[in-house]
Each structure stands twice: as structure tokens, then as C-alpha cells.
Amino acid sequence: METIDTSAPIVKNNPRTINGWAFFDWANSAYALVITVAIFPGYFLELTSDSVNVFGFRMSDSTLYAWSIALAYMVIAVLSPILSGIADYGGQKKAFLRFFTTLGALACISLLFFTGMPTLWVGVLGFILATIGFAGGIVFYNSFLPLIATEDRYDDVSAKGFSYGFIGSIILLLINLLVIMKYQWFGFPDGLKAVPTAFVMVGLWWIGFAQIPLRRLPEDRVEKQPKANLIRKGYDELLKAWHSLKQDRNTVAFLISFFCYNAGVQAVLFLASTFAEKELKFSSAGLILLVLILQIVAIGGAWASAKLSGKKGNKFSIMVMLFIWTVVCIVGYYVQTGLDFYLLASAVGLVMGGIQSLSRATYAKFLPENTPDTASYFSFYDVMDKVSTVAGTFVFGFVEQLTGGMRNSVLALAVFFVVSVVVLATVTVRRMKSVLSPQS
């Protein structure tokens, strides 16, 4: 058996390692696009009754779907800080990355057995577990960025990851759409019967391509011997990271700004298709085209944001994109035609990849130099991401319920971006110099 030397120093900016890291985005982004955006929502609503009974409570199938997403993200928001602390204390970053990848991929494949109301529990449970696997792996994936790249490469490397994700997910989506739309070529009686093949393909794609980063990323290093109570040690590592972070006003302000604008970003991404269908009467083919436009333009957006940040800095680049996001929400309130919305979707795609890529890279610059506890630090970022997603989608739904129109919800999201600009204006992007002790 080959013995891997985990004591050797990690070589940063190794092209093979960086490309391997980016392939994790290639692997798991297929789930984000194919399952959560393009195919599974419509399939779920098609197979379920308009009203369902869940533990004695009557709710619409769309509410059940939305709450399943919320539950999955809340579980990860609660667990990931603990798991991240354990990962840092016991040197288990890669082990957790492998665990969540396996959980998500197998749960995605299990959706094959969701065939109607009698197997509704399979669809709901499989979807929740797959989403937990997807969201749970991201914090550990992100935590490898400062371990494999130097600070001057964060923007480019982060953009490479998002670009790989967009490209890979588009390729698999096109393959899935070919099977579904040309179902007779593959021996299916109709398109609906062909849909479950997408769940299997996504699961296999996810776990298969994930083997590249799992082989190339640095091995786990147990620098501190784990004790019996790993949960307590996980909290200790998390508190250590928090005591370090809170001493830097810029880091706290950036996290607040990130929370605000990410709430708006995620609400737009999750609900753009719903808006197009309800307000503009988009067909299924039109929605698929919309998703493809978002993904394709986002590839260029991720790279353009990295180039802009290289010339003008991260803060300037994010401010520019927040201005565009604000304009998108205001224009979205008035949009009336499908062509207008396609143009608006192009603008969303341009800043969608850029804002997510630069946010990850910018936060990495706030981490203390040479800290081994990257998972604990990124857990704060991850929790902000998950909780702000819940906040943004809740506000969107609340405003629609209150006013009776989704256009008002889109306009309300502009407030998130305006607030984030005001807070971000106070931030100076610079790396913290040292890791502070918990008593600092």
C-alpha cells in the first residue's frame, strides 16, 4: 500500500492541484443546475398533488418543495460550524469533503425511486439529503483555497472554480435535455419517464469527477490529536476563529455586507424561473433557454470579475457588480416582454458568477496569515451564505404574500443591495496579520 507523506509542506500554486480543486466545482455544480434549477422542480410538481398532507398538516406541493430547501440549508447552517471546527482540530477537511460528496451523490441517485405520491417520502428525503450533501461539501471545498494558492492568486483560482462549475453543469444539462426531449431515441414512452435518468447521471457525474480533487488535494494532517469529545473541540476551534475575526472591523463589516447582498443574489437565482413563468408566462422551453443564458454568460462574468479586481481591486469590483444588481432589480419591476427578460437575464448572468467568485476570494484575504484552521474561518462565511439565502427567499415570498405581486418582491430585493453597498463602502480589504488567541 502506498504511504502518503502528510508532513511535507504543501506546495502552493501547483497547477495540477489547482485544476483538481476546480474540478470539484465541475462535479457538484451539476446538482445545483440540473436538479435544483432546471429539471427536478417541475418533475416534483408534476408527480405530486396540488395539496399534500405532511404529518397532519395540509400544504401545497410547492410549499413542501420550498420548505424542503429551507430545511436542508438550515441543517447545514447549524452543523457546518461544528463540523468545520472538528475538521480543523482533527485534520479532517478532506474526510468531510468525501463524506458529503458521497452522501449527496447517492441521495441524488435515490430520486430514481420517486415515482409519484406513494413514494413522495423518497422524493422529499432524497432531495433534502442530496441538498445537504451539496451544501455541506462547499465549506470544506472553499477552505482549501488558502491552502493551495497564494493570496495574489485567490481571485483567478476562485474564478477558475466557478467557470469549471458553469461549463460542466451546462454540458450535463444539455445531455439530460437531449434524453428528455428525444425520449423515443432512448426507448422511453414519454419525456416524463425519461427524467429520472437525469438523477442517475448527475449522481454518477458528481461522485465520479469528485475523485479528481479528492486525489489531488492535500491530505488531511492531524496536527492536534483529537480527544474523546470532538464536538466540544469543534466548538473550541470555532470560538477561536470567531475571537480572531471579531477583532478586525473590516472582516465583520464585510460579512454583514455579504449577508445583505447574498440574500438578494440567492433570491434572484432561486426564483428567476418562477418569476418568468408566473409574470411573463414563459414556456418550459423558454425557461430552459433562460437557465442556459444565465450559465453561459456567468462563465465570462467570473473571469471578467477576476480581471477587473486584478486592475482595480476586490472592493471596487464588488461595488460595480452591486450597482448592476440594484439596476437589475429596479428594471425587473418594469419588465414586460420575454425579450426584455432575456436581456435582463444576461445582465444577471454577468454578475452572478462574478459576485460569487469574488466574494469567496475576498473573504479568503481576511483570514489570518498561515492559519491551518481554514475550515473554521470559512464556516462563518458558509453560515452567512446559508442563512442569507433563507432570509432573501423569505422576504421575497413575504412581500409577494403582502402585496399580491412578485414585481414588488423583485423591487424589495434592491434594498438588500443598497444596504450592502453602504456597509461595503466602510471596508478596507487587507489580510489579518496573525492568528489571535481565544483570549484576545
Which helix or strand (DSSP H or E) is residue 321 part of? helix 314-334
Angle separating helix axes 230-245 and 374-403, nearest 10 degrees: 80
Split into its structural domains, the chain has a count of 1
CA separation for the pair 417, 285 (Å, rounded): 31
Report the percent of the chain where pLDDT is more than 90.
Answer: 20
Stretch 163-167: mean pLDDT, rounded? 84
Contact at 8 Å (CB) between 181 and 381? no
Residue range 221-245: mean pLDDT, rounded:
63
C-alpha span between 178 and 202 (Å, rounded): 14
439 occurs within a structural domain: no
Can you give 6-41 as a three-state secondary structure string? CCCCCCCCCHHHHHHHHHHHHHHHHHHHHHHHHHHH
- Host domain of residue 352: 15-424
Q: Could you tell me where the DSSP H helices lie in 111-190? A: 120-143, 145-148, 154-181
Banded pLDDT at 199 (limits 50, 70, 90): very high
Q: Is the pLDDT of residue 85 over 70?
A: no
pLDDT at position 438, please? 37
- Report whether 367 contacts 88 (CB < 8 A): no
User: How far is 350 from 373, CA to CA, in rounded Å?
Assistant: 33
Contact 279, 414 (CB under 8 A): no
Averaged pLDDT, 73-79: 78
- Across the range 194-220, mean pLDDT stands at 92
Between residues 286 and 103, which one has the greater pLDDT?
103
pLDDT at residue 310 tops 50: yes
Report pLDDT for 307.
Answer: 80
Q: CA-CA distance, 131 to 136, in Å (whole number)?
A: 8
pLDDT band of residue 420 (cuts 50, 70, 90) is very high
pLDDT of residue 221: 66
How does 377-392 read in b/e, with b if 16+ C-beta sit within 10 Å? bbbbbbbbbbbbbbbb
User: CA-CA distances (angstroms) from residue 263 to 183, 268, 295, 302, 380?
Assistant: 38, 9, 20, 19, 15
**Highest mean pLDDT pick, 36-40, 236-240, 258-262, 366-370:** 258-262
Cell triple for residue 254?
Answer: 464585510
Q: Is residue 21 part of a domain?
A: yes
Q: Does residue 284 sit within a domain?
A: yes
User: In angstroms, how far is CA 139 from the centroid of its own chain?
Assistant: 9
- Residue 127 C-alpha cell reads as 432531495
Output the CA torsion 214→218→223→225 (10° steps). 10
- At 399-418, the pLDDT tens digits run 776 776 778 888 888 999 99
pLDDT for 431 equals 54
Q: What is the pLDDT of residues 103-142, one digit of tens each?
A: 999 999 999 999 888 998 898 899 889 988 998 888 788 7
| Residue 433 located in a structural domain | no
236's grid cell? 473550541
110 or 384, greater pLDDT: 110
Using 50, 70 and 90 to split pLDDT, how confident is the model at 272? confident
Residue with cell 487587507: 430
The residue assigned the cell 430514481 is 112
- Asked if the structure places residue 214 within a domain, the reply is yes
Q: What is the CATH number of the domain that holds 414?
A: 1.20.1250.20
- 431 close to 271: Cβ distance less than 8 angstroms: no
Angle at 26 between CA 173 and CA 47, to 5 degrees: 35
Q: Which residue has the higher pLDDT, 103 or 237?
A: 103
Q: Is residue 8 part of a domain?
A: no
Of the listed ranges 224-228, 289-293, 348-352, the least confidently predicted one is 224-228
Gap between the Cα atoms of 302 and 298, Å rounded: 6
User: DSSP class of residue 52?
Assistant: E
Query: Nearest 5°: CA angle at 72, between 196 and 55?
Result: 85
Neighbouring C-beta atoms of residue 291, cutoff 10 Å: 24
Residue 10 lies in a domain: no
Question: Does 381 have pLDDT greater than 60?
Answer: yes
Q: Which residue has the cell 495574489?
A: 152
Cα 195 to its chain centre, rounded Å, is 23
Q: Which of 151-165, 214-228, 231-245 has the highest mean pLDDT?
A: 151-165
397 occurs within a structural domain: yes
Predicted local distance difference test score (pLDDT) of residue 277: 66
| Dihedrals phi, psi of 200, to nearest 5 degrees | -70, -45
Q: Enumerate residues 6+ apart whose C-beta is below 8 A from 404.
A: none
Query: CA angle, corner 383, sides to 380 and 387, nearest 5?
Result: 145
